[in-house]
Amino acid sequence: MYARRRRGYFWMMGGCVALFVSAWAVVRLWSMPAAVAMCLVAMVIPPVAAVLANRRGPEDRWWDDPSGDPKSDAWWDELDGKKRY
């Protein structure tokens, strides 16, 4: 699951860098408004990449981790219908 997240983040940030570099190295020679538009799109990518890379998937069972408090863990296990042996 972490490899999938890292791979997605890598591709999104790589696309961001590619947009910035191509906008100011190549596209600005033909169209300045297109280069600015490409940079605006690239500006939105890092926050979106961070949110998508840090979200939890359906296979992530973070709520099943014990809290460290035996009384609380036993109470939650009882509510969830789990038996502790």
For the stretch 32-80, pLDDT in tens is 999 999 999 999 999 999 998 888 766 666 666 767 788 888 887 787 7
d(CA 42, CA 50): 13
pLDDT of residue 63: 64
pLDDT of residue 27: 95
Does the structure show a pLDDT above 70 at 13? yes
How deeply is 25 buried, as exposed, middle or buried, from its count of CB atoms within 10 A (0-12, 13-18, 19+)? exposed
Residue 41 or residue 85, greater confidence = 41
Look up residue 55 and give its DSSP letter: S
Does the structure show a pLDDT above 60 at 85? no
